Amino acid sequence: MALVPAEEVARIEREVSVERLAEARGVKFTRHGADLLGLCPFHDDKEPSLVITPKRNPWRSSRRRGTRGTALVRARRTGR
C-alpha cells in the first residue's frame, strides 16, 4: 500500500473538522471557553471527557492520558 504524501495528510487534517466528525457520530457538545466538551465515543462515558478545540482542530480525552489526535486519528480509531 502506498503512503499518502505528508502534504496531503496535512491538508486533510486542516480541512476536516473533528467537531463535525464527532457530531455525525451523535456526540452532543457544550461550550467551555474556547473548547467543546462531549461524551467520548472511545469509552463508556458518564461525564463529558472528550475535548475539542475548534480553532486548532485536535481532540483529546481527559479521561485517558495520551488519547488525543486529529481527524485522521479519530477516523482510524472509529473506522469512519
Query: What pLDDT, in 10s, does the model give residues 11-69?
Result: 888 888 889 988 988 999 999 999 999 998 777 888 998 899 888 877 787 765 556 56
**First-to-final CA distance of the chain:** 19
Given pLDDT bands bounded at 50, 70 and 90, which one contains residue 70?
Answer: low
Q: How far is CA 39 from CA 23, 30, 63, 66, in A?
A: 11, 10, 10, 17
The CA distance from 80 to 66, in Å, is 21
Domain ranges within the chain, ordered by starting residue = 30-80
CATH class, range 30-80: alpha beta
Question: What pLDDT, on the 0 to 100 scale, is given for residue 13?
Answer: 81
Over residues 5-11, mean pLDDT? 85
Contacts of residue 63, Cβ cutoff 8 Å, sequence gap at least 6: 40, 43, 45, 49
* Rg (the chain; Cα; Å): 13
